[in-house]
Amino acid sequence: MFDPNNPCLFCHPKPEEIIEEAETALLITDTYPVSPGHCIVIPKRHIATFFESSEEENRDFHYLINLARNYLEEKYQPDGYNIGSNNGLAAGQSVNHLHIHIIPRYTGDVENPKGGVRWVIPEKSQYSRK
């Protein structure tokens, strides 16, 4: 469970942020949402990256991501989703506790969504098939 002596933001989620709980992970609202309904899955164990997660945690991540989709479909009716995590400082990780974003996307929320998560390196976002 969460370590009460660890000052990590995700080791101490507020009860009102919790959407659902599994054995090893939580689904919570994102404090700084990119879009309406943006939520995250966090392990209860304090680990930094996805690569440190156990089989049980991965099972719960999968369960909670699917549950998030059902929740978001009912409450927000998005047109698509971006799902991902930043692993390491070079990848943009800002909180040193694994968190998997479930970002609902809506038609027209950006001018040209082609490339999706590839936009982390803008000059590589657009591609053409040969």
For residue 129, being part of any structural domain is answered with: no
What's the pLDDT band for 4 if we cut at 50, 70, 90? low
The one-character DSSP state at 44 is: S
Give the domain CATH number at 78: 3.30.428.10
- The answer to pTM > 0.75 is yes
C-alpha to C-alpha distance for 25 and 51, rounded to whole angstroms: 15
For residue 4, being part of any structural domain is answered with: no
pLDDT at site 54: 98
Between 43 and 6, name the one with better pLDDT: 43
Reply yes or no on whether the pLDDT at 91 is more than 80. yes
For residue 7, being part of any structural domain is answered with: no
For residue 118, being part of any structural domain is answered with: no
C-alpha to C-alpha distance for 63 and 36, rounded to whole angstroms: 21
Write b or e for each residue in 33-59: b if 16 or more Cβ atoms lie within 10 A of its Cβ, otherwise e: eebebbbbbbbbbbbeebeebeeebee
For residue 101, being part of any structural domain is answered with: yes
For residue 8, being part of any structural domain is answered with: no
Q: Could you tell me the residue range of the domain that residue 66 belongs to? A: 13-107
pLDDT at site 3: 59
Residue whose structure tokens are 């038609």: 107
46 is catalytic: no
**Count of domains for the chain:** 1
3-class state of residue 97 by DSSP: coil
Per-residue pLDDT of 38-86, as tens digits, reads: 999 999 999 999 999 999 999 999 999 999 999 999 999 999 999 999 9
Of the chain, the percentage scoring pLDDT greater than 70 comes to: 88
Reply yes or no on whether the pLDDT at 129 is more than 70. no
For residue 32, being part of any structural domain is answered with: yes
Catalytic residue among 46, 62, 97, 99: 99
Reply yes or no on whether the pLDDT at 14 is more than 70. yes
